[in-house]
Amino acid sequence: MNKIDWEEKNKNKLKERKEEFRTTSDIKIERFYTKEDVPEDLDKKNSLPGEFPFTRGVQPTMYRGRFWTMRQYAGFGSAKETNQRFKYLLDKGQTGLSVAFDLPTQMGYDSDAPVSKGEVGRVGVAIDSLKDMEILFQGIPLDKVSTSMTINATASMLLAMYIVTAEKQGVPADKIMGTTQNDLLKEFIARGTYAFPPNPSVQISVDLMEYCKDFVPKWNPISVSGYHIREAGSTAVQEVAFMLADAIEYLKIAKERKLDIEGICKRVSFFFAVHGNFFEEISKYRAARRIWANILRSDFNVLSDSACKFRTHSQTGGVTLTAQQPLNNIVRTAMQAMAAVLGGTQSLHTNSFDEALGLPTEESATIALRTQQIIAYESGVGNTIDPFAGSYFVENLTDEIEEKVYEYLTIIKDKGGMVKCIEDNYIQSEIENSAYDFQIELEKKERIIVGVNDFKADEEELPAIQGIDKDLEENQNAGLAIVRAERNSQKVSECLESLRKAAQKKENIMPSILSAVREYCTIGEMTSVLESVHGRYKGSG
């Protein structure tokens, strides 16, 4: 009996249940799926793991060869405190570091700038100069540890500090491993921690991509981020579409500058959020790999299969964590982490259950890490590759996501590309509309969040919250004053002037930034120089 005959036979029963079930991307979910819901050429479309277009995974062995990199996003207060947390996490079995920076560092302000007051060390570690970076990684072998840095507007400066810190350990630049986020376009869409206007921001991002290809070959110079787009309220489809549209924009700039696109693509990575709609999240990974590979092959003539791989880091959804009944977040995080693994992520950060309340404690960070370890070593899900391949439902959902993503990419192209769409507020409006729809669903209880709009607790005992040293800002500023007093002022001035000239001539600014970092120029000083050339973006709000 085929699906149509079954529905005809059961039409009276089906009338009793008229509700439509849909994913967060408004994709209709049928009651069940059969082979009629998947294409006949499914095997050709999916290929095998490690083979173009990588629907089933980017490696032929996947987790049978090596588990995903287990990271915990860490950074608070001073470089010294964060260094201690890094060592604690590494001792607990973490296999890679992920650095959170405070808002002044992210936006290019020194800790003693008036605008930084009250924000120093609050949402991440404060880094003003090379001195802080040296403290941050003291005693951590940078040729052995992979480090991810969530930094964008000042990514070039932070990576330069990391490179010089490694050199001081005796580790050359071609041996360090890790990722800088360096995705400026999504700052204008979702986060707002930008410094310069969109066009020069993209150029600076591409500068770093070009430099790393030639001199830091094991480093991923950009992690194009869908995470923050999703956290701002987008659907899963919008996350994939807008993230890929950002990546296309970077490659278009690189192509205009006659850079080696194939070489750059080998080190481009992506950053996904993982939310709670389990099968949609798994299918999202499969669709994104296939779309990216086909775009590189058809639009950029990338012939190397390895350069067409969609490699991604993932983080469980911060916005899905609730301050109400926070222990429930352990279950949410575990479910999301499992979806990321079944989707084929290469790297994963699991959020701590108390992050809706404050910075993670050592206990909550350990539970988050143990969640990954239990999935890896106890569940057996990594024993076979892409275990949902061939599922009528997952294959259909993968195709549906792919189709809707291409619809968005066509619209963006027709409107003049991603920068133009951002300037015209198209992308932001699409995300705002999705976020509004989600909120209405919550208020109508069409979508249930346990402990928030249903299954509430009368009384709750909240866990202890991680505190920050009340003298942190004063101590950080005192250390910055010492750095300024002990460095060579004349060399600092010469380096900053060299950076200014490179920016004015539209040269790659990375060599000038490295020279400035070696002389202990600060984040704020280097940003001010670039601001004098490009201006500082104020936004529309």
Distance CA(364)–CA(354), nearest Å, equals 7
Minimal CA–CA distance to 76: which of 40, 113, 107, 103? 103
Instruction: Describe the crossing of helices 198-215 and 523-534 by its angle, rounded to 10 degrees.
Output: 120
Expressed in percent and rounded to 5, the helix, strand and coil fractions of the chain are: 50, 10, 40
In this predicted structure, what is the pLDDT of residue 484? 97
Q: What is the mean pLDDT of the chain?
A: 92
In this predicted structure, what is the pLDDT of residue 96? 84
Place of tokens 């950029």: 300
The DSSP bridge pattern shows strands 21-22 and 28-29 to be: antiparallel
Minimal CA–CA distance to 526: which of 538, 510, 539? 510
Q: How far is CA 141 from the centre of its chain?
A: 24
Q: How far is CA 490 from the centre of its chain?
A: 39
Distance CA(125)–CA(228), nearest Å, equals 19
- 63: tokens are 């987790």
CATH topology of domain 47-443: TIM Barrel (3.20.20)
- Count CA atoms closer than 13 A to 327's CA, side-chain side: 6
In this predicted structure, what is the pLDDT of residue 16? 46
Residues with pLDDT less than 70, the chain:
1-3, 5-19, 73-76, 465-468, 540-541
- 356: tokens are 């809706």
What are the domain boundaries of the chain? 47-443, 472-534
Cβ atoms of residues 202 and 160 within 8 Å:
no
Q: How far is CA 66 from the centre of its chain?
A: 21
| pLDDT tens column, 445-467 | 999 999 999 999 887 777 776 66
Does residue 219 sit in helix, strand or coil?
strand
Distance CA(368)–CA(213), nearest Å, equals 34
Does residue 428 sit in helix, strand or coil?
helix
In this predicted structure, what is the pLDDT of residue 381? 96
Quickly count: other Cβ atoms within 10 Å of residue 180's Cβ: 28
| pLDDT tens column, 123-175 | 889 999 999 999 999 999 999 999 999 899 999 999 999 999 999 999 999 99
3-state secondary structure 362-416: HHHHHHHHHHHHHHHHHCCCCCCCCCCCCCHHHHHHHHHHHHHHHHHHHHHHHCC
In this predicted structure, what is the pLDDT of residue 73? 66
Does residue 126 sit in helix, strand or coil?
coil
The DSSP bridge pattern shows strands 219-220 and 222-225 to be: unpaired
Please work out, in degrees rounded to the nearest 5, the angle formed at the alpha carbon of residue 481 by the alpha carbons of 478 and 482.
90
In this predicted structure, what is the pLDDT of residue 62? 96
3-state secondary structure 144-185: CCEEEEECCCCHHHHHHHHHHHHHHCCCCHHHCEEEECCCCH
What is the pTM assigned to this prediction?
Answer: 0.89
In this predicted structure, what is the pLDDT of residue 460? 74
